[in-house]
Structure 1
């Protein structure tokens, strides 16, 4: 009689554990299905052109691609960088014109701003070197400004591409502590979850 009771108890516990395991697996499958449905809803066909839209918007108006991507904090950085490049170009152009005018006046025999009471503070060769330096600085400022403009477009494009990547918990590396019941020791390790 006792053996029958143990058999029925074992059978009952086994059946309950199998049924609960099946319910858990159904819950996991339904969770995966809901994630797949969300992914399909998030990435409809019109979003396939989102990176090109972001790049186009940034090309038309710097910072607009960042606004399209939702990275509003990058807009002041873009305009600050472009404004700095333009400022240095204008400043170097002003200094270049200043030394160029002084050089032309000196060649024509007129007084220039670097000659005070007949004494030349800067030689004619110094005026030529200053013009060359400021001309070079103007060109570098133009290159830096164009580079920042291109970087603005690339940033908007890459940000839009990265927005489409899956970053949910199905792909993760987590530290893991496992207590071994047989030996009574703690096992350390890493788990890598990668679901297709």
Structure 2
């Protein structure tokens, strides 16, 4: 082997090493670029999370919800975006209104018949001179129907006030920031001393 061949082999080996070194450097550079991209994406996500502003407490929201419920029952629940509560409010208020109308209508019928009979005039409960319902029954029915009518009215008023209070309280509570620490976690704790006679208790644990 002459000197030229040796020099050629050395040059080729040097070039091959430099070529592989360039490839390795390119690989390192690409990994660095990927890491930089990941870091920039993470920083952007963190910055976006930090940009989210906390919900602003509106002290007038409970008053608005109560005012809307007072104007029209169920509107305060809709204002609080609790849409499923509105049909419940309407159904709850529809029942006392329905029974109030029925009891009031029957009360007027029996009262009119009672007045006509007291004055010696025919009424709807007298057929061919025969009294289907006695005078005492007419008087007792009046008292019972009047009591039922008043109870229906009282129930409707109570439900009307309750739906106003519920809308106001709900508007106040939904603005609180809830945290995972403010949770109830039931847990069974066995007492090794009293295994045969288990006991039931309640323990509160506060995490700060």
State if a TM-score over 0.5 links the two structures.
yes
The equivalent of 1:114 in structure 2 is: 125
Q: Distance in 1 between matches of 2:157 and 2:186?
A: 45
- The correspondence of residues 29-40 of structure 1 with structure 2, limited to 5 A, is 34=50
The equivalent of 1:76 in structure 2 is: 87
Give the root-mean-square deviation of aligned CA atoms.
2.8
Q: Secondary structure at the match of 2:59?
A: helix
Normalising by structure 2, we get a TM-score of 0.63
Q: Distance in 1 between matches of 2:127 and 2:112?
A: 16
Runs of 4+ in 1 over 6 A off after TM superposition: none
Q: Distance in 2 between matches of 1:174 and 1:96?
A: 55
Matched, 1:50 2:61: yes
String of CA shifts for 1:132-180, please: whole Å, max 9, x gaps.
111111110110000110011011011112102222224345589xxxx
The equivalent of 1:185 in structure 2 is: none
Residue number among 89, 109, 121 corresponding to 1:98 in the alignment? 109
String of CA shifts for 1:121-140, please: whole Å, max 9, x gaps.
22111111111111111110
Residue number among 145, 159, 168 corresponding to 1:134 in the alignment? 145
The Cα of 1:90 is off from its aligned counterpart by: 0.6
Q: Which has the higher contact order (CA 8 A, sep 6+)?
A: 2
Deviates more, 1:98-107 or 1:108-117: 108-117
Q: Distance in 1 between matches of 2:119 and 2:207?
A: 78
Matched, 1:125 2:121: no
Unpaired stretches in structure 2, ≥5 consecutive residues = 1-45, 188-202
Q: Structure 1 113/173 Cα, relative in aligned 2: closer, same or farther at 3 Å?
A: closer
Q: Counting strand residues as a fraction of each chain, which structure ranks higher? A: 1
Q: Structure 1 130/140 Cα, relative in aligned 2: closer, same or farther at 3 Å?
A: same
Q: Structure 1 113/62 Cα, relative in aligned 2: closer, same or farther at 3 Å?
A: same
- Structure number with larger C-alpha Rg: 2
